[in-house]
Amino acid sequence: MLFPESRRALEQYAGETPVWTEGYDVAAAREQARALAAQEPREEVAEVADVDADGVPARLYTPAAAGDAVVVHAHGGGFVFNDVEVHDASARRLANRTGLRVLSVDYRRPPEHRFPAAVDDVAAAGAWAARTLGDRLLAHGDSAGGNLALVDALRHPGRYAALALVYPFLDPAAGFESYATAADGFDPREAAWYWEQYASPADLANPDLAPLLSDRLGTLPPTLVVTAEHDPLRDEGEELARRIADAGVEVVATRYLGQLHGFWRHPRVFPSAEPLMRQVAGFLALHG
């Protein structure tokens, strides 16, 4: 059952132009997201600095009395949308809740920069963080960012001490039941559009794009996987948790009832967002 805040959110977004509409204006949608994010309250963090992570722009958040570990954060947005500005409020909250430095990666996005540009940027930023900030790294990502954080961990076994994934976007085939049953009003053309912007059909079986196909799942560090009950991505996230647990990885998996995809980033709208932030922060701090 959808919780009341989720029903209200669905009603609010019902009139928006679908992304798969011919002539959809990606640039305008990005600007709108930045404008909306600019209206969100932002917590004070002891130090916030834009940095060059070996050619990849990123933003480093350092809370007071920060611990030694660094959280590499990859933002969500279907690979196409959002950036460090849109995720600024969330990254500040993550730094303050964990007590750790957070490196938010401003990776390149499609359709201007297609696969594997985003994967390569997260990898480069992770390598820079290990060399420059200290070798105790943790990774975090939501939605498409969860895909990127997971892929970087699979490409570089041992790089991260722990991994936290919030409703990760993993399956370009959209082959799980939750695409049909979990989300009220969801049109499968939406997920397909994001994958089409990101990659060509020849890439869809590449484990650097579709990490459920990886033969390295057993190399992952302790991993938190969070899903939302009314999210088309729910089943693929939970399947990931099952597969990596079977591969011998220490896994914590949580499904948030009544919630929609995207709720993590909006604590003023979704009462579950702050408890989730604290769960993620506690898990990362535990391993940091």
Which residues are designated catalytic?
Answer: 143, 231, 261
Measure Cα distances from 93 to 72, 149, 182, 206, 221 in Å: 14, 19, 29, 34, 24
Residue by residue, what is the 3-state secondary structure of the chain? CCCHHHHHHHHHHCCCCCCCCCCCCHHHHHHHHHHHHHCCCCCCCCEEEEEEECCEEEEEEECCCCCCCEEEEECCCCCCCCCCCCCHHHHHHHHHHHCCEEEEECCCCCCCCCCCHHHHHHHHHHHHHHHHCCCCEEEEEECHHHHHHHHHHHHCCCCEEEEEEECCCCCCCCCCCHHHHCCCCCCHHHHHHHHHHHCCHHHCCCCCCCHHHCCCHHHCCCEEEEEEEECCCHHHHHHHHHHHHHCCCCEEEEEEEEEECCHHHCCCCCCCHHHHHHHHHHHHHHHC
Measure Cα distances from 162 to 69, 133, 157, 159, 263 in Å: 11, 17, 11, 9, 22
